Amino acid sequence: MGFGLNLSIPTGEFRNQNYPALPPVVERWQSAQNEGYDLGLGAQFTLSFPLEPSFAIRLNLNGQVTNGTNTAAGFDRINLQHSIFSLGGDLQMFVNGSANRHRGTFFIAGIAADFERFDRSYGDPNYDSVATERKSRMGGNFGLGHSFGFAGTRFTLETTFHKTLSGNDAAKMEPPSSDFVRMSFGWVF
């Protein structure tokens, strides 16, 4: 069983997206826009079940919040907030065959059900009027971790890449992929 604190770094269109100016159908679209998200903070809870000395399956519950902005010349800035809760299953492969003790270097790969919320506001999204869009879609994770420490207390460091696998079709006006690198520091009990 483990608990970790996460720092996420958005990548790709989730980090920075430029929208060209369009004909004046909607007033804000008359100008080119830039939209992007900054660093995010979150937490995760994991349960690992060793299958054999080198492999374990892991239930992964994690959530995080990321803030961002949408700017367009001649218009007020829109504040953005993205919240995600993920329920996933991962396969862990321990390099030194220590899955039973959860020690050493391990690789992670898995899928997750992502439950996302996109908030847009001219003020603080936590307090002011907010336009909200909710989205449920599949995501994939892969990365590298290391578990170290003494017999009673063990710590983990993980770096994983999260990629949205479905529900990100711009032609259908769906939100961009929520792609990010997640760095986690945690404890294993």
What CATH number does residue 119 fall under? 2.40.160
The residue type found at 97 is G
Single out the residue of 179, 163, 79, 174 nearest to residue 133, CA to CA: 174
Instruction: Identify the weakest region by mean pLDDT among 3-12, 15-24, 93-102, 143-152.
Output: 15-24
Q: Confidence class of residue 33 from pLDDT cuts 50, 70 and 90?
A: confident
Q: What is the pLDDT of residue 169?
A: 76
Q: What percent of the chain has pLDDT over 90?
A: 65
The residue type found at 14 is F
In the chain, how many domains are there? 1
Q: What is the pLDDT of residue 128?
A: 78
> Using CA atoms, how far apart are residues 43 and 8, in angstroms rounded to an integer?
10
Encode pLDDT of 135-173 as tens digits.
999 999 999 999 988 767 789 999 999 999 988 776 677
Average pLDDT over residues 44-60: 95
Domain coverage including residue 74: 2-188
